[in-house]
Amino acid sequence: MRRKILVTGGAGYIGSHTVVALHNTGYEAVIVDNFANSSKSVLDGLEGIIGRRPKLYELDCTDRKAMREVFQKEKGLQGVIHFAAFKAVGESVNEPLKYYQNNLGSLLVLLELMEEEGVKNLVFSSSCTVYGQPEKLPVTEETPTQPATSPYGRTKQMCEDILSDLRKSKSPVRSLALRYFNPIGAHESGLIGELPNGVPNNLIPFVTQTAAGIREQITVFGDNYNTPDGTCIRDYIHVMDLADAHIKAFEYLDKVSEESFYDTVNVGTGKGNSVLEVIQAFEKVSGEKLNYKIGDRRSGDIEKVWANVDKANQVLNWQAKHDIEKSLDDAWRWQQQLSKK
């Protein structure tokens, strides 16, 4: 009998890959998704990989009544992995109330229902945006968080505060916030991957779409930063490594002896790559020459950030297995599959 995990936002980019990882390690994923940031075509890809269509509830996580029905129908839930959130930094600046209502509201509904129904374990999707531009690198979980540069980043900080306050209240919910760095790549089958709506906000879909001829040119935002080649540095992690971290996080929570618990863990590779290094690595693995130009700096961009992942290694017994070239090769395979449709 597979143990059931509720996965909110399970049809999204990271969520769908985590559904695969859950299946591969003997769990059953129950997906809740309203498809605001995802496509139903992802379900076909999941079926192709795991051999069956995952159970799905199409609804909004802020809908307390509908979510209560899910908890009551899915008796015996072992825990929740919470991905569902709006995530576009620029949009959050223009529509802050939308972000606060959705990103905070969905977590509050989940926590209330978990307490009501006796579901104890929560893995929360946080972000390295909570660190801002750190004074020292790499960042550890003890690195002070900086004031958020966007409402999106602030919602992640506030959600972490909610979970911390809940632990202090002696709530029976045990939670772990995973602070992701920059997820890239796709499942090696090419059946699921990052599927942005409209023009991508992230570098890698823009790279692959340019190589596929969907975008005319990539703009590298600034080449005068204080980095070896002048371009911004990020910690790029393969999405399947990130998915595996959620399994390890859940298994860790399962063994926690405290009645009430909360902690944070960085999930990255421990290594930074610049934008130009990523472009060059993609050209190497794909054999495609990318059309790019150097543009002005983009407002709000952090110069450089990468993770110290000692805690993930030691506490979760997890480490990233895939390098940047493998991540880019898988992302390109996914893009080529999309282009055939």
Structure-token match 């750190």, residue found = 134
One DSSP character per residue, 242-275 reads HHHHHHHHHHHHHH--SSSEEEEEEES-S--EEH
Which of 13, 99, 131, 152 is flagged as catalytic? 152
d(CA 159, CA 63): 18
Say which amino acid occupies 237: I
How does DSSP assign 66-119, residue by residue?
HHHHHHHHSTTEEEEEE------HHHHHH-HHHHIIIIIHHHHHHHHHHHHHT-
- DSSP-assigned letters across all residues of 147-167: PPSSHHHHHHHHHHHHHHHHH
**Catalytic annotation present for 152:** yes
Strand-pair category, 273-274 with 233-234? antiparallel
Cα separation of the two ends of the chain: 37
Show the tokens assigned to 244. Answer: 């595996």
Distance CA 19, CA 240 (A): 10
Residue 210 DSSP symbol: H
Point out the residues that are catalytic.
152
